[in-house]
Chains A and B, each alone.
Chain A
Amino acid sequence: MQNLASYGDPGWVDYLIMENTKFDACPECDLLLNQALPEIGEKALCPRCGYLLYRPRKQSIERTFALSVAGLIVIFPANLLPLIGIKLLGNSHDGTLWSGVIGLFNEGMWAVAILVFLSSILFPLTNIILSLLISAHLYFDKPNRYLGSWMRWLQHLDEWAMLEVYTLGIIVACVKLASTADLKLGFGLYAFVTLLLITAMLASSLDPYLFWQRIAYLRRHEA
């Protein structure tokens, strides 16, 4: 990162990383804490505000790697195949994730269309790609100058990928439609539910604390 170069002394970065690792600060109340690393299955909470500081995960890097590969495969059928279809008076019609976005766009609701596109298609995809890139680099011990930026993007985009909310939307829409038309569930829906499970497992297997430690470690040993 070019900004680090501007500090001049290259040993500076190493020095800082070594120095402050025995302390930690709670992100939600700023309490200064002695660093405690719980065992797998345990968790560390902030004693003052109760924030969940760490919950180490079993085989975090390996599982994140495997799950992001699986997610990348499943995301295509989930996006492209019909989720649900209806039949009414001999007419039938299927809907996919994309056709909802395009439908909203054609009705002039471009802002809503963009929001739906981002939160149900683009951000889930970028999250999976970023998880794959980061975990693959960490798994193979390959340093990369963008690892830190990828991890930051992943953390910021995480809450904007809303597959689970979309699933609830599908359920409500199905209930609304069931009384007036014949519903059929498409293959895309099964792919979508699989994708939902994979992203949920991905979120719980990724241990941000471990990932940052590994990124800092790779960075130190880059040169």
Chain B
Amino acid sequence: MKIKSIALTAVAVASVVASSAAMAQAKEQFFPVLVYRTGAYAPNGVPFANGYVDYLKYVNAKGGLNGVKISYEECETGYATDKGVECYERLKGKGATVFQPLSTGITFALTDKAPGDKIPLITSGYGRADTVDGMSFKWNFPLLGTYWTGADVLIQHLAKKEGGYDKLKGKKIALVYHDSPYGKEPIAALQERSKMHSFDLQLLPVTAPGVEQKATWLQVRQSRPDYVLLWGWGVMNSAALKEAVATGYPREKMYGVWWSGAEPDVKDVGAAAKGYNALAMQHGAEPNAKIVKDILATLHAKNQGTGPKEEVGQVLYMRGMIASMLAVEGVKRAQERYGKGKVMTPEQARWGFENLALDQKKLDALGFAGVMRPVSTSCADHMGASWARIHTWDGAKWGFSSDWYEADDSILKPLVRASAEKYLAEKKIQRRTPADCQS
């Protein structure tokens, strides 16, 4: 027994020592892929991861980044902050270009570490809402939207539905949210709007992972809000819809954030979820997009796709794919400055993300016609675009049910600024100078 335990410890020590030996730096652009394919959030994490990886494979199949091949490695985080940090520490040493944690909790943890390690973070549609301010957060890129823009667009849509902001006065809006940094993030923006338009905001937290919601929906039934905003993730979304069905709350009055409006959330409930609306951060389910057809032809036809064929074009798959595309385009933009056909360092890639200029022509050429609107970032604005639409589940698929909205910067900018200043003061970091932007 003694020998066995000695042998076990020896193997453990040897393997750990071996791992700390530096990996050879290949002439490839390395993308770490933080995923969660297990645990309570897996149903939503898996299609996102598949979309992300599929796009990377697609880029390689089309010749890479101006000739530079992409290499990637998946790391399982299980939506847990400590595992996310551990993945980060392990993969950053391999020349990671950019991290996309797909978890607001992990984003908060990495926001502190990334500047020290000089690796950019893309948090497209999640993360800290105040990181839009690129002058305060040099290394964070909440491309395409944050929870504050999402909340803002939802209120705009509801006002439009009611016939004007003045009609919102006296209405009751309930927020059923995941009790975590993710779920709490929109509260500040919603409270601001609530003050402006005098509607009643009822906050109903659901303890993670959000499977038990009976009491929450009994409260919804008793207070009879005019609208329910759903800010859930993973299993919480379908549980919410099932409880809504069970308490008879009309699904047409429910509006989910873009992380609560995808197939895994509704397919279990099926026809009973008909009428449920959700935000679409520019894209929705896009089975007819050119890029989808390209990927099916290039990868899935040759059995090289990650994940099943039926998933390609679904909402979360598209989200992952677009996140991947933004990362790739950012690196390509960096190559325009630092050398086409060369491997970009994370700092160079950061410049690329800060100077993204994807106009409609470029997006169409990439295959995103009708799916995306132009994205252009700058030193002060790390978000690049805040377009969103509403899509509705008709019992079998998602279909767009509104025009394009853009978040109201006049309301959000002061909030962002205040929050960013608070962060800088707490961390004793100086705001960036305009000169720094040119570097």
A, B assembled together? no
Q: Which residue numbers of A lie inside 8 Å of B, CB to CB?
A: none
* Chain B positions near chain A (C-beta within 8 angstroms): none
